[in-house]
Amino acid sequence: MVEDFNLIILEEWCKQWDSIKKLNPVIIGTETTGKFLQTSPPHAMMLILSMEASFGDVSGPLRISVPYYTMEPVLSGLLSQTNTPSKVKQTVSPKWHEIYDQIPVDVSIEWDAFELSVRDLLNLEVDDVIELNPEIISKTKARIEDRTCFIGEVGLTGDQVAYQVNECMSESLNLIGKSYG
């Protein structure tokens, strides 16, 4: 699973350089300490991506190392592009990978309903009824990873509770990579 995760990171990283040079990521090994992997000469400079990774209750540092000399063709291409007049950039839509289908994403549906004083909040008991403005139903926010992405309406479809998207928020476009007309 960790190797799949690493491969996804490397594939996405390689895609960043497609306009300069086609790169193919290959994982040649994994090790708890890099000194046992023979990726380059012992004194070669390395480009190291370091991040904190969490898998369930376990977290720790995750480092991906790339020998700097392997980056020379990409850097040469990048420098030659900066010295030539700029061309019209083409936008490339993100490529979907089937492995993304299994990534869980936190989604919540919420309302900005009302404010309560601390006293009223502490006095709430089972069977208390709080009246809400009926218009709140059509102003229900769908939040993905703590960002409000959609405004819609909560209702029933048969015996299931449903959410109908009525509006896409501009901050969600960066999150989900779609454009809506």
pTM (global) more than 0.85: no
Q: Which of 48-52, 96-100, 135-139, 172-176 has the highest mean pLDDT?
A: 135-139
pLDDT for the residue numbered 105: 84
Q: Is 43 helix (H, G, I), strand (E, B) or coil?
A: coil
Q: Are 140 and 110 in contact (CB under 8 A)?
A: yes
Between 51 and 86, whose confidence is greater? 51
Of 55, 76, 100, the residue at which a domain comes to its end is 100
Q: What is the pLDDT of residue 69?
A: 79
d(CA 71, CA 77): 10
Query: Based on the domain organization, do 22 and 90 belong to the same domain?
Result: yes
Q: Which of 77, 100, 123 is the last residue of a domain?
A: 100
**Domain match, 18 and 93 both:** yes
Residues 87 and 148 in one domain: no
pLDDT of residue 125: 92
- CATH number reported for the structural domain that contains residue 130 in this entry: 2.30.330.10
> Is 7 within the bounds of a domain?
yes
43 shares its domain with 88: yes
Instruction: Supply the range of the domain harboring residue 60.
Output: 2-100
Q: What's the rounded Cα separation, in Å, for the pair 33 and 139? A: 52
Tell me the average pLDDT across 76-100: 70
pLDDT tens string 78-89: 777 666 555 555
181 within some domain: no
Joined together, the tokens standing for residue 100 give 């993304």
Q: Which residue has the higher pLDDT, 166 or 114?
A: 166
What confidence score (pLDDT) does residue 172 get? 59
Band of residue 41 on the pLDDT scale cut at 50, 70, 90: confident
